[in-house]
């Protein structure tokens, strides 16, 4: 990366969920003079010591980030952050316990919020360090705006050619049906119970979600029988194992399991979405796709209220079938009433006007990050480099540990990979829609890492 340009470091953990939106942010930043390091979060962390001093865009501020945030800061980088999971979240006390670390937040210079409600939650946290909070929206919602939706037209056409008319069932049971069995909440709760360190909230939520999962297992074959001419596509959460859903789909006509690429074209191609407490219901509403919240059981503490409240709600299988028939016949559409619009406005910014990606870069420029940063403290930087070398060595060992969250197989599951030509092509597609980005170049920096600059 050029030392003459300010550096912006944008890590991507889940490729299907984050890559396109963060690539748009990278393109906006590069267009405005930043040299962007972009790619797999794990591999970004390995490379941090060799990146010119700049700004790291964090996707979360959990206790798991405490150590890495310290290394990043001591290397001379500054940290700005949003919470990728901040839009659909637990009730405030449990959200604070699970998603925010006061120690990690001490290192954060700027917070970006999805909307006013997200900003409120940050400000009310006991460990909030009084850094600026900017309600910019998130680049993920930029992809759903009318002027950018055509970015997915080819994908939509390919999905429709493959599946025809279909209903999308989005599952979000990664806490139970994890890619690695030993990382499921049920397994972790069993271990914690043996150690007398059980997290009562997460244990209760795991039990509740397990009951919901059992209902979904029955829903899929029932829908297959009730709608014989309709395809059903089950799209698992990016961290879920597909094996459970493939087993259920075996022997059922018209039921398939797939989750390639960004969810937006799948939503745009489907007739309706069925979910329970899933962020995709919010995305579906913005895209104008009817959503059904299948809620055979309810709980005031464990239900994710926002996505369910924006959907048609169904209490059982028969109710789901009835609602789906009304959608397929054209009698029911997307929920669009004053209550729903008010809920959405409180939680999401930048659904029109300037793109969220532009608003984020506006803040970075106003904070002075568009200028190259001075050299870091030499002593702290040397110590951080040594710390990073040790951490990276451990991470590399964990690549080969079966069932570990840093296992290479799990990394490939979440980040299948991309090359510079594909990223360049995606930026060109964004540019053709927005009349921008003609001057940008993508180059391979290292494995799973790329630089994007003018």
DSSP per-residue codes, 248-313: HHTT-TTEEE---S-HHHHHHHSSEEEESS-THHHHHHHHT--EEEE-SS--TTTS-HHHHHTSEE
**H-type helices in 32-114, by residue range?**
41-47, 66-74, 92-99, 102-105
Q: What is the pLDDT of residue 193?
A: 47
Mean pLDDT across the stretch 417-421? 95
**What is the per-residue pLDDT across 261-318, written as a single tens digit (0 to 9) for each?**
899 999 999 999 999 999 999 999 999 999 999 999 999 999 999 999 999 999 999 9
CA angle, corner 176, sides to 275 and 408, nearest 5? 105
Question: Given a cut of 90, is residue 192 above it in pLDDT?
Answer: no
Mean pLDDT value of segment 387-404: 68
Q: What is the pLDDT of residue 4?
A: 60
Q: Is the pLDDT of residue 190 over 70?
A: no
**Nearest to residue 98, comparing CAs of 71, 60, 128, 57?**
60
CB of 87 within 8 A of CB of 282?
yes
The sign of the CA dihedral 328, 269, 82, 433 is: negative
Euclidean distance between CA atoms 136 and 129, whole angstroms: 19
Poorest-confidence range of 77-86, 236-245, 361-370? Answer: 236-245
Give the residues across from 134 on adjacent strands.
112
Mean pLDDT rounded to a whole number for the chain = 91
Q: What angle do CA 99, 101, 105 make, to 5 degrees?
A: 115
The string of pLDDT tens digits covering residues 207-226 is 999 999 999 999 999 999 99
The CA distance from 48 to 46, in Å, is 6
Q: Is the separation of the CB atoms in 289 and 267 below 8 Å?
A: yes
Question: 410 or 142: whose pLDDT is higher?
Answer: 142
* Token couple for 427: 């930026």
H runs (alpha helix) in 109-184? 116-124, 139-142, 153-163
What is the DSSP code (8-state) at residue 149? Answer: G
List pLDDT tens digits, range 320-361: 999 999 999 999 999 988 889 999 999 999 999 999 999 999
Model confidence at 129, in pLDDT bands (50, 70, 90)?
very high
At 428, give phi and psi (nearest 5°).
-65, -35
Predicted pLDDT of residue 388: 75
Count the Cβ atoms, other than its own, within 10 Å of residue 133: 17
In 210-254, DSSP assigns E strands to: 231-235
Q: Which of 222, 348, 193 is nearest to 296 (CA)?
A: 222
Of 452, 453, 447, 454, nearest to 47 (Cα)? Answer: 447
pLDDT higher than 60, residue 185? no
Instruction: Identify the DSSP state of 152.
Output: G
- Assessment of whether the complete model's pTM goes beyond 0.85: yes
* Measured torsion, CA atoms of residues 314, 319, 325, 331, in degrees rounded to the nearest 10: -60
- Rounded distance, CA 325 to CA 236, Å? 24
User: CA–CA distance from 52 to each of 2, 163, 236, 323 (Å)?
Assistant: 8, 47, 38, 55
14-70 per-position pLDDT tens digit: 999 999 999 999 999 999 999 999 999 999 999 988 888 899 999 999 999 999 999
Asked if 97 contacts 403 with a C-beta cutoff of 8 angstroms, the reply is: no
CA geometry: angle 392, 395, 400, nearest 5 deg: 140
pLDDT band at 378 (very low <50, low <70, confident <90, very high): confident
71-103 residue pLDDT tens: 999 999 999 999 999 999 999 999 999 999 999
- Run of H or E residues at 40: strand 35-40
Q: What is the pLDDT of residue 454?
A: 93
Contact 341, 311 (CB under 8 A): no
The C-alpha atoms of residue 332 and residue 326 are separated, in whole angstroms, by 5
Structural domains of the chain, ranges and CATH numbers in brackets: 7-144+351-453 (3.40.50), 151-347 (3.40.50.2000)
pLDDT band of 372, cuts 50, 70, 90: confident
| Band (181; pLDDT cuts 50, 70, 90) | low
Supply 22's token pair: 């963060």
Laid out side by side, the sheet with 291-294 consists of 255-257, 231-235, 166-170, 272-275, 291-294, 312-314
């Amino acid at each position: 990366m050029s030392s003459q340009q300010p550096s912006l470091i944008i890590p991507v953990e889940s490729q299907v969920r984050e890559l396109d939106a963060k690539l748009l942010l990278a393109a906006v930043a590069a267009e405005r003079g930043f040299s962007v390091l972009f790619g797999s979060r794990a591999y970004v962390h390995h490379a941090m010591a060799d990146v010119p001093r700049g700004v790291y865009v964090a996707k979360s501020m959990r206790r798991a980030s405490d150590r890495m945030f310290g290394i990043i800061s001591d290397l001379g980088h500054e940290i700005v952050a949003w919470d990728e999971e901040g839009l659909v979240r637990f009730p405030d006390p449990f959200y604070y316990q699970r998603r925010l670390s006061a120690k990690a937040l001490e290192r954060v210079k700027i917070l970006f919020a999805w909307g006013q409600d997200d900003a409120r939650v940050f400000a009310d946290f006991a460990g909030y360090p009084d850094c600026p909070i900017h309600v910019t929206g998130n680049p993920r919602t930029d992809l759903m705006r009318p002027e950018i939706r055509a970015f997915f037209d080819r994908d939509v056409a390919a999905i429709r050619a493959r599946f025809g008319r279909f209903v999308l069932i989005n599952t979000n049971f990664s806490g139970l049906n994890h890619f690695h069995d030993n990382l499921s909440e049920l397994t972790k709760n069993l271990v914690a119970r043996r150690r007398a360190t059980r997290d009562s909230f997460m244990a209760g939520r795991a039990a509740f979600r397990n009951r919901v999962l059992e209902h979904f297992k029955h829903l899929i074959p029932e829908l297959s029988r009730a709608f014989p001419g309709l395809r059903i596509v089950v799209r698992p959460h990016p961290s879920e194992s597909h094996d459970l859903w493939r087993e259920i789909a075996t022997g059922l006509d018209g039921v398939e399991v797939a989750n390639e690429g960004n969810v937006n074209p799948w939503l745009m191609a489907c007739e309706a979405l069925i979910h329970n407490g899933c962020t995709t219901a919010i995305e579906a509403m913005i895209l104008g796709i009817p959503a059904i919240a299948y809620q055979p059981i309810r709980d005031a503490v464990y239900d994710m209220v926002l996505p369910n409240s924006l959907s048609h709600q169904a209490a059982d299988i028969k109710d789901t079938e009835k609602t789906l028939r009304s959608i397929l016949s054209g009698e029911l559409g997307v929920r669009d009433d004053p209550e729903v619009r008010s809920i959405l406005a409180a939680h999401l910014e930048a659904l029109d006007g300037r793109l969220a990606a532009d608003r984020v870069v506006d803040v970075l420029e106003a904070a002075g990050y568009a200028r190259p940063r001075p050299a870091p403290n030499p002593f702290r930087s040397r110590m951080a480099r040594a710390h990073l070398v040790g951490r990276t060595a451990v991470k590399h060992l964990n690549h080969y540990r079966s069932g570990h969250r840093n296992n290479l197989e799990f990394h490939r599951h979440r980040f299948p990979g991309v090359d510079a030509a594909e990223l360049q092509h995606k930026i060109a597609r964004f540019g053709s829609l927005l009349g921008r980005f003609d001057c940008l170049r993508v180059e391979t920096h290292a494995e799973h890492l790329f630089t994007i600059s003018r």
